[in-house]
Amino acid sequence: METTTVFLVLVLLTVISFFMGRKRSHAVVSGRGGARALHSLPKHYGYMAALWALLPSVLVLVLWLVFEHGILAHLVVSQLPSSVGQMSASEQGLYFNQIVSFASGGTDASQLDPAQVIAADHYRALVASSRTVKALLVFLVALLGAALALRRIRPNLRARNHVEGILKWILFACSFLAVLTTLGIVLSVLFEAIRFFHAISITDFLFGLEWSPQMAIRADQVAASGSFGFVPLLVGTLLISAVAMVIAVPVGLMSAIYLSEYASRGFRSVTKPVLEILAGVPTVVYGFFAALTVAPFIRSLGETLGLHVASESALAAGLVMGIMIIPFVMSLSDDIINAVPDTLREASLGMGATMNETIRKVLLPAALPGIVGGILLAVSRAIGETMIVVMAAGLSAKLTINPLEAVTTITVQIVTLLVGDQEFDNPKTLAAFALGLVLFFVTLMLNVIALYVVRKYREQYE
Amino acid sequence: MSKQGSNKASAAIQASLKKRYARERRFQWYGRMAVLIGFVFLFILLADIVSKGLPAFTQQYIRVSVNLDPAMTGLQPGASQEQIYGADYLGAIKSSLREMFPEASSRNDKKALYRLLSIGAEYTLRDKVLEDPGLIGHTTEIWLRAHAEAGSYLKGQVSADTPESDRKVKDQQMAWLDQLRAQGRTESRFNTTFFTQGDSREPEMAGIKVALYGSFFTLLVTFAIAFPIGVSAAVYLEEFAPRNRLTDLIEININNLAAVPSIVFGLLGLAVFINFFELPRSAPVVGGIVLSLMTLPTIIITSRAAIQAVSPSIRQAALGVGASKLQTVVHHVLPVAMPGILTGSIIGMAQALGESAPLLMIGMVAFIMDPPAGITDPATVLPVQIYLWADSPERGFTEKTSAAIMVLMGFLILMNGLAVYLRRHFERK
C-alpha cells in the first residue's frame, strides 16, 4: 500500500475510534443515570480513543519511513557478490542506485551486470513486502491503541484531564521544534564542516588569503589544487555590508527622527507604510534591479568620470542592499526613539533648546545603545543577505577594499559551490558547509549582542 | 553692571538665535531629504520594473499563408492522427516565407528570414491541422508567433539608428518586418503564452505556469506545517509554559531563528531532508518544509502578540464558569485572537512566497517545462524562475523577468492587502 493510502486509512480508523469511544462511554453508564454519571463529557472519551489510535501508529509510520530506505539498502548490498564490497563508498552508492532505478523501471537491463539484475528483483520483492508489513503494523498499532483506550473507559475515568494532558504535551512539542531546528542547523552544518576540516586545516581556512575552490574532481582533470582561504570572502562581505550601511543608516535614522519628531500624524500615517513596501519587496527583485539597472548605471557614471568600475562592483550590490535595509533601520530606530521618555524631551525644550538641539544632545545620546543594537541587527541581515549579491556581486575572490571592484561574499560562494554538481565527498562542496557554519555563528553573535543591548536599553527606561 | 552684563548676554543669545534657527531648519530639511530619498528609491525601483515588464504582456504575431501541399508536408487528405502529428510543418512554413520574400536567396538571408518566426511556429501549425484536418492540401492563412527579436522590433524597442552589428535584428529583417506591417500581416495580442506555458529556451515561448503551480504547492505545504505548529507553539508559550530554564531556552531559540539568514535554512534542508531522509530534490514538499521552518518564528511571534492582546477578563470569565484551561483557550481566547494570528500568518506566507535563497540549496533551480501534478514532482517557484531568467542575456528574457516580478509583486500586494484589511476590519469591532 502507498504511504498516502495508509495514512488515509489511519485517519478513517481514528474517526471510527472517536465514535466507538463516545458510544462506549454512553454504554458504561446506561443503567446508572446516563451521561451525567460520567466524569467527563462523552466526546472526551471519544477524543481519548482517537488519540490512542492515532499517535502511536503515526509514530510507527514515521519511524518506518525514516529507516526503511537504509535497511533495504543494507539488505540488498549484503546479498551482492563480494567484489562489490571492495568498491569505494561512492562507487557502491552508484552501483546501488543503478539497481534501484532499474527496479523502478528507469534503465534497461543491458547497462547492468547480471548480479545487479538479480539484486533488483530482490530489491523489488523487499520493497513490496516492506509496504505490506508497514501497512499491517501501522493498522495493528492503531487498533491496539484504540482497544486499550476503549477497555479503560469507566464512568470515573477522568477522560478530559487525560486528553488535555496529551494535548498539552503536543503543544509543548510544537514549541520545542524551535530548539530542534536550531540543533538541526548546528549539527548538520557542523558535521559537514568537520569533514571539511579533515581535508583542509582550520588555520588555512581562517587565515588563508586566497580563495579558489576549483579542484580536480577526477584524477585526470587538470585544475588548480584549490585553496580555501576565507579572508577575501570575509573582507568582500564586510565591504558590501559597509556600503549598505553607509546608505541605510543615515537615511533610515533621519527618516525615523523626522517621522517621529517633526512630521504631522497624517504625513506619518501615509509615509511609513509606503517606505515599508521597500521591506516587502523580495530580495530576488532587488538582485535583478542591482544587476540590470544599478550596476550598468554606476559603470557608465564611473566611465564619464574617468574611473574604472567593474561591471559587478561592490558599490552596486551594496547600494541596493542599503535600499533594502532602509525600512529595517527606520522602524527599529523609530521604536527606540519613541521609547525615550517624554520627560527628557520636555525638560530640554523647556530650557529653551531648539528641537534639533534636543534631538542631537538629549534624545540621540539617550537612545544610542538601542540604535547601535538596531544597527548590529541590520549588519547581521546584510551579511546573511543572499540573492542581491548572488545576482549582482562577482565570483572571483579579490582581497580589496575598493568598492569599485568586484568582490565576492560568503553567501555567494555557498550558492555557487552547492548549486550544480553534488558530490558529498570532496572539499569543494563541504567548504560550503564550513562557510555556512561561519555565517551562522557570525550572525548569531551579532544577534545575541544586539538583542541584549536593545533589551538592556529598554529596561533602562521602564 | 549686572544689567549691562545681562544685556550683553541677551545680545549674544539674540545673535546666536539666528544661527540656531537656521540649523533647526537645515536639520528638518535633512529629515525631509531622507524620507524623500526613500520615496525616490522606491519609485525608481517600481518604475524600472514596470517599464521593463509591460511589453512582455503583449506578443507579436505574423500572418503567413501556408500551403499545406501534400508534396510539401507529405500529408494526404484523410491522413491519420499519427501522420498529422509527425508531418513536416517547418518545411511548409519555410517555403511559404520564401515565397513571400523571393529576394532571400543566400543561405544567410534564408536563415535570417526563418528567424522572423518563433521556433514554436511549427507546433502552432500542427495543432491547427490536428484541430481541422480539412486544411490539408489547401493554402491557409495562419497567425504565427513572431521570434522574440523580431517581436521586439515590431514593439518599437529596436532603433534603426544603432549600428547593425550591435543589434540582433538586422537591416534586412527590419525591411521585411516593415513590409509585413504595411501589408497588415502583423498583429499585437495579449500574451497568453506567458501564463499557460512552462520554462523554455526561447523567450517568446517561455511562461510562468510551472512557477505558479510550484509556488502554490510549496506555499500549501508551508502553510499546512507552519500554521498549526506555529499557533500551537504560541498557545503553549503564552498560556501553559511554566517560567523555567526550558521555556527561556525555547524563547531564545525562537528569537534567534527569526534572525538566522535564510540561506542557512537551505543548508539545513540540503543536509537533513535531501541527504539524510533522501526526500526528492527540486520538489515542493522539501521547499515547503524548509520555508515553514523559516516562517515559524514570524508566525509564533505574531500569534503570541495576538494572544497576549486578548483581554484577561475573557479568560477569567471562562475559567470562572468551570471551563478547563485548554477549553478556555480553544473556545474563547483563540477565536478572539484569530484575526491577529491570521494577519501574522499571511505576512509569514508572503515572506515565504518571495524567498528564493534556501530553495536554490535544495535544487529547485531546474529547467522544468511541465507543471507539477503534486507536491513530490519537480517544480520551480516564481522567485527562482525570476532568478533563472535574470541570468539570460536576451532582451526577451529581461522583459519576461520583469513581467514575472510584476506578477509576484501583485500576489504580495494582494496578500499584504488582505492582512491589512483583516487587521482594520477586526480592530473596529
Residue A265 lies in a domain: yes
In the three-class reduction of DSSP (H, G, I as helix; E, B as strand; rest coil), residue B9 is classed as helix
Q: Which residue has the cell 499519427?
A: B82
Q: What is the CA radius of gyration of chain B?
A: 32
pLDDT of residue B193: 84
For residue B296, the chain A residues in CB contact (below 8 A) are: 177-178, 181
Does B305 touch chain A if contact means CB atoms closer than 8 Å? no
- Residues B383, A164: C-beta atoms closer than 8 Å: no
Give the pLDDT mean for B157-183.
80
Residues B154-178, buried b or exposed e (16+ Cβ, 10 A)?
Answer: bbeebeeeeeeeebbbbebbbebbe
Instruction: Count Cα atoms within 13 angstroms, Cβ side, for B11.
Output: 6
Contact B326, A166 (CB under 8 A): no
| Nearest by CB: A386 against B228, B261, B384 | B261
Least confident of A129-133, A299-303, A396-400: A396-400
pLDDT of residue A159: 87
Grid cell in block for residue B83: 501522420
CA–CA dist A121, B327 (Å, integer): 55
Question: φ and ψ at B373, to 5 degrees?
Answer: -95, -15
For residue A293, the chain B residues in CB contact (below 8 A) are: 48
pLDDT bin (cut points 50, 70, 90) of residue A109 is: low
For residue B130, the tally of other CB atoms under 10 A from its CB is 12
- Going by C-beta distance under 8 Å and a sequence separation of 6 or more, which residues neighbour residue A434? A192, A193, A196, A197, A205, A228
pLDDT bin (cut points 50, 70, 90) of residue A177 is: very high
Q: Which of A288, A330, A389, A245 is nearest to B45 (CA)?
A: A288
Q: Is pLDDT above 80 for A365?
A: yes
User: What's A366's domain CATH number?
Assistant: 1.10.3720.10
- Going by C-beta distance under 8 Å and a sequence separation of 6 or more, which residues neighbour residue B105? none
- Of residues A81 and A65, more confidence is placed in A65
Q: Is pLDDT above 90 for A349?
A: yes
- Residues B386, A356: C-beta atoms closer than 8 Å: no
Strands B139-145 and A211-212: unpaired
Contact A185, B265 (CB under 8 A): yes
Give the pLDDT mean for A419-428.
67
For residue B17, the chain A residues in CB contact (below 8 A) are: none
A373 is in which domain, residue-wise? 227-460
Contact A211, A232 (CB under 8 A): yes
Alpha helices for B183-208 (secondary structure H): 193-196
pLDDT of residue A69: 76
A263 and A412 part of one domain: yes
- Residues B39, A189: C-beta atoms closer than 8 Å: no
A275 and A379 part of one domain: yes
Does B248 touch chain A if contact means CB atoms closer than 8 Å? no
- Residues B267, A181: C-beta atoms closer than 8 Å: no
- Of residues B374 and A223, more confidence is placed in B374
CA–CA dist A288, B389 (Å, integer): 10
For residue A421, the chain B residues in CB contact (below 8 A) are: none
Contact A429, A423 (CB under 8 A): yes
- Going by C-beta distance under 8 Å and a sequence separation of 6 or more, which residues neighbour residue A80? A95, A115, A119
CA–CA dist A462, A340 (Å, integer): 10
Residue A406 lies in a domain: yes
Most confident of A209-213, A319-323, B131-135, B362-366: A319-323
Q: How many CB pairs under 8 A join A and B?
A: 251
A279 and A375 part of one domain: yes
Contact B341, B298 (CB under 8 A): no
Q: Is pLDDT above 70 for A199?
A: yes
Does B367 touch chain A if contact means CB atoms closer than 8 Å? no
Q: Is pLDDT above 90 for B186?
A: no
Alpha helices for B258-333 (secondary structure H): 262-268, 284-308, 312-320, 325-327
- Going by C-beta distance under 8 Å and a sequence separation of 6 or more, which residues neighbour residue B359? B218, B266, B287, B290, B291, B365, B381, B383, B384
Q: Which amino acid is at B232?
A: S
Residue A59 lies in a domain: yes
C-alpha distance from residue A69 to each of A72, A74, A79 (Å): 5, 9, 16
- Residues A354, B229: C-beta atoms closer than 8 Å: no
In the three-class reduction of DSSP (H, G, I as helix; E, B as strand; rest coil), residue B7 is classed as helix
Please provide the distance, in angstroms rounded to a whole number, between the alpha carbons at the two ends of chain A.
61
Q: Is pLDDT above 60 for B296?
A: yes
For residue B28, the tally of other CB atoms under 10 A from its CB is 17
| Nearest by CB: A254 against B31, B229, B236 | B31
Does B330 touch chain A if contact means CB atoms closer than 8 Å? no
For residue A182, the chain B residues in CB contact (below 8 A) are: 253, 256-257
- Going by C-beta distance under 8 Å and a sequence separation of 6 or more, which residues neighbour residue B327? B318
For residue A189, the chain B residues in CB contact (below 8 A) are: 264, 267-268, 271
A residues 47-86 closer than 8 Å to B (CB)? 66, 69
Q: Which residue has the cell 538596531?
A: A374
**Taking the model in full, what pTM does it have?**
0.88
For residue B48, the chain A residues in CB contact (below 8 A) are: 289, 293
Q: Give chain A's domain count.
A: 2
Does A97 touch chain B if contact means CB atoms closer than 8 Å? no
Q: Which residue has the cell 443515570?
A: A33
- Residues A323, B41: C-beta atoms closer than 8 Å: yes
Question: φ and ψ at B58, to 5 degrees?
Answer: -115, 150
For residue A323, the chain B residues in CB contact (below 8 A) are: 41, 45
A359 and A449 part of one domain: yes
Does A230 touch chain B if contact means CB atoms closer than 8 Å? no
Least confident of A267-281, A406-420, A424-438: A424-438
Give the pLDDT mean for B392-419.
89
In the three-class reduction of DSSP (H, G, I as helix; E, B as strand; rest coil), residue B120 is classed as coil
pLDDT bin (cut points 50, 70, 90) of residue A5 is: confident
Q: How far is A370 from chain B (nearest CA, A)?
A: 17
Question: φ and ψ at B64, to 5 degrees?
Answer: -125, 140
Lay out the sheet containing B139-145: strands in order across.
Answer: B139-145, B58-67, B186-190
pLDDT of residue B185: 84
Does B17 touch chain A if contact means CB atoms closer than 8 Å? no
What does pLDDT average to over chain A?
86
Strand partners, B64: B142
- Residues A175, B278: C-beta atoms closer than 8 Å: no
Does B20 touch chain A if contact means CB atoms closer than 8 Å? yes
Give the pLDDT mean for A65-70.
80
Q: Can you give the three-state secondary structure of chain A, one letter per residue?
A: CCHHHHHHHHHHHHHHHHHHHHHHHHHHCCCCCHHHHCCCCHHHHHHHHHHHHHHHHHHHHHHHHHHHHHHHHHHHHHHCCHHHHCCCHHHHHHHHHHHHHHHCCCCCHHHCCHHHHHHHHHHHHHHHHHHHHHHHHHHHHHHHHHHHHHHHCCCCCCHHHHHHHHHHHHHHHHHHHHHHHHHHHHHHHHHHHHHHHHHCCHHHHHHCCCEECCCCCCCCCCCCCCEECCHHHHHHHHHHHHHHHHHHHHHHHHHHHHHHHHCCHHHHHHHHHHHHHHHHCCHHHHHHHHHHHHHHHHHHHHHHCCCCCCCCCHHHHHHHHHHHHHHHHHHHHHHHHHHCCHHHHHHHHHCCCCHHHHHHHHHHHHHHHHHHHHHHHHHHHHHHCCHHHHHHCCCCCCCCCCCCCCCCCHHHHHHHHHCCCCCCCCHHHHHHHHHHHHHHHHHHHHHHHHHHHHHHHHHHCC
CA–CA dist B229, B234 (Å, integer): 9
Q: Is pLDDT above 60 for A220?
A: no
Residue A202 lies in a domain: no
Does B35 touch chain A if contact means CB atoms closer than 8 Å? yes
- Residues A357, B38: C-beta atoms closer than 8 Å: no
Q: What is the DSSP letter of B311?
A: -
In the three-class reduction of DSSP (H, G, I as helix; E, B as strand; rest coil), residue B200 is classed as coil
- Residues A354, B387: C-beta atoms closer than 8 Å: no
* Cα B355 from chain centre: 10
CA–CA dist A60, A140 (Å, integer): 11
Please name the fold of domain B209-428: MetI-like fold (1.10.3720)
- Residues B233, A277: C-beta atoms closer than 8 Å: no
Give the pLDDT mean for A177-185.
92
Percent above pLDDT 70 for chain B: 98
Q: How far is B118 from chain A (nearest CA, A)?
A: 26
For residue A170, the tally of other CB atoms under 10 A from its CB is 13
- Residues B324, A164: C-beta atoms closer than 8 Å: yes
Residue A208 lies in a domain: no
Instruction: Count Cα atoms within 13 angstroms, Cβ side, for B238.
Output: 25
Q: For the segment B314-342, what is each residue's pLDDT rounded down to a tens digit?
A: 999 999 998 999 999 999 999 999 989 99
| Nearest by CB: A443 against B259, B270, B412 | B259
- Residues B325, A164: C-beta atoms closer than 8 Å: yes
Strand partners, B27: none
pLDDT bin (cut points 50, 70, 90) of residue B1 is: very low
Q: How far is B60 from chain A (nearest CA, A)?
A: 25
Q: For the segment B187-200, what is each residue's pLDDT rounded down to a tens digit?
A: 888 888 888 888 88
Contact A343, A366 (CB under 8 A): no
Give the pLDDT mean for B5-29.
86
- Residues B236, A184: C-beta atoms closer than 8 Å: no
Does B401 touch chain A if contact means CB atoms closer than 8 Å? yes
What does pLDDT average to over chain B?
87
| Nearest by CB: B261 against A257, A432, A439 | A439
Residues in chain A: 462
Q: Which of B268, B346, B265, B271 is nearest to B302 (CA)?
A: B346
For residue B307, the tally of other CB atoms under 10 A from its CB is 21
CA–CA dist A213, A203 (Å, integer): 16
Strands B139-145 and B58-67: antiparallel
Q: Write down the domain spans for chain B.
A: 57-190, 209-428
Q: Which of A370, A373, A376, A375 is nearest to A443 (CA)?
A: A376
Q: Which of A349, A359, A263, A318 is nearest to B34 (CA)?
A: A263
CA–CA dist A254, B32 (Å, integer): 8
Percent above pLDDT 70 for chain A: 91
pLDDT bin (cut points 50, 70, 90) of residue B228 is: very high
Q: For the segment A280-338, what is each residue's pLDDT rounded down to a tens digit?
A: 899 999 999 999 999 999 999 999 988 888 888 899 999 999 999 999 999 989 888 88
CA–CA dist A88, B378 (Å, integer): 30
Residues B397-418, buried b or exposed e (16+ Cβ, 10 A)?
Answer: bbbbbbbbbbbbbebbeebbeb
- Of residues A186 and B1, more confidence is placed in A186
Q: Is pLDDT above 80 for A96?
A: no
Does B15 touch chain A if contact means CB atoms closer than 8 Å? no
Does A390 touch chain B if contact means CB atoms closer than 8 Å? yes
Does B265 touch chain A if contact means CB atoms closer than 8 Å? yes
Domain termination site, one of A157, A175, A194: A157
ipTM: 0.89
Most confident of A62-76, B142-156, B203-217: B203-217
| Nearest by CB: B42 against A274, A391, A418 | A274
